[in-house]
A and B are shown apart, each in its own frame.
Chain A
Amino acid sequence: MSEKEVILSIRDLYVNFYTYAGVVRAINGVDLDIYKGEVFGLVGETGCGKSVTSRAITRLITPPGRIEKGEIFYKRNSEVIDLLKIPDEEIRKIRGDEISYIFQDPTSSLDPLYTSGFQIAETMVVHDKAEWNEAWKKAVELLKETLIPDPESRVKNYPHELSGGMRQRVVISIALSNDPKILIADEPTTNVDVTVQAELMDLLKELQRKKGTTIILITHHMGLIAELTERVGVMYAGNLVEIAKVEELFENPLHPYTQGLMAAVPNPLQKIERLIPIKGSVPNLIYPPPGCRFHPRCPKAMPICKEKRPPRIEVSPGHFVECWLYVSEEEWEGKNNE
């Protein structure tokens, strides 16, 4: 990979949720670099920590959740800041301005008591990008850009007066209103119907091409991953188990979980005769399995998998995997004696 500029790098991130049942160890040491201008895909089953990871980036973790430790470096122009260390007011200024979000459900993302125009304009006003009058005008333009018909009257509509697809366009308009550097799209099309999904995705692609926005796309839709992303991270039970370029991941998945995932969902790049489910179910993260969290379901599990967490190995340039299968004998010894 050519020397691309890293815009965001997550180091050793741990997030716990303190529930009545016990401490849920939701994010368990995630390391990830995001390059400027790329579309990065994050995949994994429901509850594997994709959303939590993405929200932790701007500290959008509310109690009972807590970011335990880690560093999230964000490169802003020439300086590098740790988003987990800066004051609340600073992170507030970054949210919705430099790093913005699109959430899964457009219906519940919008406040039912305010018009769509108000909610878009508000995002600009709170970041001192515009006064109210001007912000309203920009809201109309944003709705035009996100291809909402008749934007002049739509800004005056309340969310319940809009269709699901239009609501998600309003949410996208909000996310784009301040020209973010990084856009985190958390399953942006899961709750809209299929025809609208394609349109929304074209919209995001177009945006990325025009403005060079860095996009982190969270989804469990392999088709979207193949179509839109350049690199992909696979999450399992709070760990980022594999990171690779998208073609590489589809052609040569290394981690047994990724292999299982590829066999279990329709593969957009090649024909599969039968879908094979992964045996077992996602572990309870209050009592996560020791060692590698995937070992109870892993067809290739070895004794060491139960004991020690696998290290991250760069198997080929840019292709990382956290699995004992790819640790050579000597390294194994070395890791074992650590």
Chain B
Amino acid sequence: MAGMGRYLVRRAITFIPTVFGVLFITFTIAFLMPADPARVWAGGQKASPQVVEKIRKMYHLDEPFWAQFYYFTRAILTNSIYSPVTHNLVSEEFMRRIPITLNLAIMAMFMIVAMGIPMGIVAALKKDTAVDNAVRILALIGYSTPSFWIAFIFMWVFYNELGWMTLVGLPRPSEMITGIYILDALLLGEWKIFIEINRRLLLPAFILAFILVGGLARYVRNTMLDVLSADFILFAQAKGLPPFRLWRHALKNSLIPVVTVVFFMFGGLLSGAIITETVFGIPGLGVLYFAAISNLDIPVIVLSTLYAGLIVVIISLIVDILYALIDPRVRL
């Protein structure tokens, strides 16, 4: 692990071109969109030409591409990008919403891992039996079911009929420690708030988990089968290892590819769940994207993409570090 520090610095430097590339591509696409953002921001068809003109000047929309890109990049670096639609400072908007999305992502990921990994292991052990097929079918249903549809079904069952869940508001614990509501509530021992947060977020988190869990289970199953058929497992058996030791060898080896999938799933969830958040009215990033796309809020759209790109870059860095910790063949 001696090279870790140097590795982190090197990787951090490679972040810059990657992130800049994402920014450039997204900005270019937004620029090329065959729409007149100034008119939309001014209020659409009924907007007076003077107002449209004023907005065009204000946001440098009358200037050539490179000038616009320069102004935009400079505004990001000075943290002075305001949404032309809501007039909020976009970075503040993100900061307000990230904890909520993060909270939802952590809950969903917890469920995915807690269900997906055991399911995958059992499916591998009971290969080609009813259990294995059940996991296969679950994965298929999860992939192919529209999330808004299950969302409505679940709302009807758990809110209308059973009344276990709530659909408005999001209680916060009295103090912020980690910034993630559910963890803070746990840490502070505020059980009432903990339960309320669960009543609000458990359903959407479960829906996100339901979509992804079968995929993870299948992946774990296939990885596990690969490892179990490896020669070193047979040799470990020939050494006379008892079952729990065989399992240790098998699980540790299966862990490596599974770590990648789990972390990239988490990255995907962190970028926000547009449909689920919108359906449940959770004020996270997904709702922000939805509004931004509807209102042609280009600064928010570009920054959201930039944020998603940043998440991918950071997640892949974390995965690389974890690899080096688990697998002696990988040296940073």
A residues with CB within 8 A of B: 55, 58, 60, 62, 92-97, 100-101, 103, 105, 108-115, 122-123, 126-127, 158, 160, 171, 174
**Contact (A111, B249) CB under 8 Å given A103-B231, A105-B231, A160-B329:** yes
Contact A174 B253 (CB under 8 A): no
Measured CB to CB, the closest approach of chain B to A108, in angstroms, equals 4
Residues of B within 8 A of A60 (CB): 234, 237-238
Interface-side segment among B42-50, B239-247, B276-284: B239-247
Contact A126 B231 (CB under 8 A): no
CA distance A112 to B236 in the complex (A): 12
Contact B234 A92 (CB under 8 A): no
A sample of 7 cross-chain residue pairs with beta-carbon separation below 8 angstroms, ordered by A number, consists of A60-B237, A95-B238, A96-B240, A111-B236, A113-B326, A115-B328, A126-B239
Contact A112 B327 (CB under 8 A): yes
A92 touches which of B242, B249, B252, B326 (Cβ 8 Å): B242
- Chain B residues numbered 207-247 whose CB sits less than 8 Å from any CB in chain A: 230-232, 234-242, 245
Contact A96 B253 (CB under 8 A): no
CA distance A126 to B248 in the complex (A): 13
Contact A108 B238 (CB under 8 A): no
Contact A112 B240 (CB under 8 A): no
Contact B240 A94 (CB under 8 A): yes
Contact B241 A108 (CB under 8 A): no
Q: Which chain B residue has the least Cβ–Cβ distance from A114?
A: B249
Interface centre among B232, B235, B237 (most CB of A within 10 A): B235
Contact A101 B232 (CB under 8 A): no
Contact B235 A110 (CB under 8 A): yes
Measured CB to CB, the closest approach of chain A to B238, in angstroms, equals 4
Measured CB to CB, the closest approach of chain B to A172, in angstroms, equals 12
Count A-B pairs with CB separation below 8 Å. Answer: 72
Contact A126 B241 (CB under 8 A): yes
Contact B235 A171 (CB under 8 A): yes
Residues of B within 8 A of A92 (CB): 240-242
Q: Give the 7 A-B CB pairs with smallest separation, nearest first.
A: A96-B240, A108-B231, A95-B240, A96-B239, A101-B238, A158-B328, A109-B235
CA distance A307 to B219 in the complex (A): 50
Contact A112 B235 (CB under 8 A): no
Known: A112-B232, A160-B328. 20 other contacts (CB 8 A): A58-B238, A60-B234, A62-B234, A92-B240, A95-B239, A96-B241, A97-B240, A103-B231, A105-B231, A108-B231, A109-B231, A113-B252, A113-B253, A113-B327, A113-B328, A114-B249, A123-B240, A126-B239, A126-B242, A126-B245
Interface centre among B237, B239, B249 (most CB of A within 10 A): B239
Contact A103 B238 (CB under 8 A): yes
Contact A122 B245 (CB under 8 A): yes
Contact A100 B238 (CB under 8 A): yes
Residues of A within 8 A of B328 (CB): 112-113, 115, 158, 160
- Chain B residues numbered 279-332 whose CB sits less than 8 Å from any CB in chain A: 326-329
A112 touches which of B238, B245, B329 (Cβ 8 Å): B329
CA distance A174 to B241 in the complex (A): 12
Q: Which chain B residue has the least Cβ–Cβ distance from A161?
A: B328
Q: Which chain A residue has the least Cβ–Cβ distance from B243?
A: A92
Residues of B within 8 A of A55 (CB): 238
Interface centre among A94, A109, A110, A123 (most CB of B within 10 A): A109
Contact A110 B240 (CB under 8 A): no
Measured CB to CB, the closest approach of chain B to A319, in angstroms, equals 32
Residues of A within 8 A of B242 (CB): 92, 126
CA distance A111 to B242 in the complex (A): 16
CA distance A321 to B229 in the complex (A): 36
Residues of B within 8 A of A108 (CB): 230-232
CA distance A93 to B329 in the complex (A): 32
Measured CB to CB, the closest approach of chain A to B247, in angstroms, equals 12
Q: Which chain A residue has the least Cβ–Cβ distance from B236?
A: A111
CA distance A171 to B235 in the complex (A): 9
Contact B237 A95 (CB under 8 A): yes
Interface centre among A92, A94, A113, A122 (most CB of B within 10 A): A113
Measured CB to CB, the closest approach of chain A to B243, in angstroms, equals 8
Residues of A within 8 A of B252 (CB): 113
Residues of B within 8 A of A94 (CB): 240
Q: Which chain B residue has the least Cβ–Cβ distance from A174?
A: B239
B253-288: CB near A (< 8 Å → 1, else 0) gives 100000000000000000000000000000000000
